Amino acid sequence: MPDITVSLTRTGTTASEARIRDHHMVMDRPTEKGGENAGPMGGEALLAALGGCFMSNLVAAAQARDVELGDIDVSITGTLAGTPPVYERIAMTVTGAASIESLPKLVTMAERGCIVANTLKAGLTLTVETRQG
């Protein structure tokens, strides 16, 4: 599998801009946490990344089986705990118009194919290094 690289640059007092392929996303802290609220926090973006990854896999699974999904919504709630805070659990709810017979199977397939879900479930090694720039 190829590497996926995202780069970030500080763009304001507390904000940063992520560059992802041809896309840009601003992230920041809310004002009540000392930020300027120019975008979501990284932890919120993580939940959005899970939802986006899951949704794209759900759509692909439905299309491959000629199932009409219709309207579909995914709600994700992350529960924080500990110091420093970490997500103790993440709950995802899928609400959709697809038939009751096909939706559970498609959801299972989407969950299995989602890089973000697979990573969160398995855990990973995170390294951080510094370079003089």
With beta carbons less than 8 A apart as the criterion, state whether 110 and 54 touch. yes
Closest Cα to residue 73, out of 97, 46, 44?
Answer: 97
Per-residue model confidence as pLDDT tens digits over 5-64: 999 999 999 999 999 999 999 999 999 999 999 999 999 999 999 999 999 999 999 999
Task: Please give the Cα distance from 81 to 92 (Å, whole number).
Answer: 18
Q: Where are the domains of the chain?
A: 1-39, 41-133
Per-residue model confidence as pLDDT tens digits over 109-127: 999 999 999 999 999 999 9
Per-residue model confidence as pLDDT tens digits over 85-112: 999 999 999 998 766 678 999 999 999 9
Give the CA angle between residues 56, 81, 8 to the nearest 5°: 50
Q: Which residues pair with residue 19 across a beta bridge?
A: 7, 24
Tell me which amino acid residue 107 is: V
What would you measure as the largest C-alpha separation in the chain, in angstroms? 56
Residue range 41-133 forms a domain whose CATH class is: alpha beta
Tell me which amino acid residue 95 is: T
Position 1 scores a pLDDT of: 63
Per-residue model confidence as pLDDT tens digits over 7-17: 999 999 999 99
Closest Cα to residue 47, out of 107, 99, 117?
Answer: 117
pTM score of the predicted model: 0.91
Position 99 scores a pLDDT of: 67
